[in-house]
Amino acid sequence: MALTQVSSNKCAGGFQKVFEHESTELKCKMKFAVYLPPKAETDKCPVMYWLSGLTCTEQNFITKSGSQLAAAEHGIIIVAPDTSPRGCGIEGEDENWDFGTGAGFYVNSTQDPWKTNYRMYAYVTEELPKLINANFPTDPDRMSVSGHSMGGHGALICALKNPGKYKAVSAFAPICNPMQCPWGQKAFAGYLGSDRSTWEAYDATVLAASYSGPQLDILIDQGQDDQFLSASQLLPDNLIAVCSEKKIPVVFRLQPGYDHSYFFIYSFIGDHIKHHAKYLNA
């Protein structure tokens, strides 16, 4: 699995890099960003995977979040993949901002014409970690996952579907109950088909209800002035209610005045990386 370096920039004492490779799961070229903290020059480091939201590429997080300072401080490698396959030649792939290109929703599609390429769940949980562990100074037993919006949904399902695989999980404004919101219903119908029972495998609220595994401490930040919260796209209350019932620890912080943007992520990313470091560096 050959990697091609696209860019490399000195940042916070380490290096912010972007690579390209041929994905076997997605059957196209994919880019991902990787931040290597100074500690990576001499030691193996834990990895935090960051999953971005609708319309994003690997660039949004690395240029807007300011995550490198906290990652350097705590000695954590951060990997930020793209959000979907690109340039696959699928009819309609570029017609919608919330479906197709830039909107993989971190599921393994089962429906034509998407099922050949749109396998983002397998990509972020299996192919990408193998690639990272083979090419960078990582400790494969210490990884965690975080994300924003659609990527917050992705982070939560990765952790809930794989008990013990991720040492920590956090999310900014995640889509908590996609089966019950317009974004999720559109994506799941297109990628997974009309049988709603198949959607349950990718809904954090449903997965939390049947979770059994090591204790998972979840950190969620949500902007109180987030337009998508008021539009009933995110539905955090549904997830919190289930986690409370199942005694899954959740720290849910409703942040007054903050919206859905990267200004919100920038403001609290340090807290999230500290949360991950607590478990990754234990």
CA separation for the pair 153, 141 (Å, rounded): 23
Q: Which of 153, 203, 226, 267 is catalytic?
A: 226
Q: Which of 74, 148, 260, 272 is catalytic?
A: 260
Confirm if 107 and 120 have CB atoms less than 8 A apart. Answer: yes
Is residue 260 part of the annotated active site? The answer reads yes
Is residue 148 part of the annotated active site? The answer reads no
Is residue 52 part of the annotated active site? The answer reads no
CA separation for the pair 68, 86 (Å, rounded): 26
Give the torsion through C-alpha atoms of 242, 124, 135, 101, to 10 deg. -140
Q: Which of 84, 146, 149, 170 is catalytic?
A: 149
Active site residues: 149, 226, 260
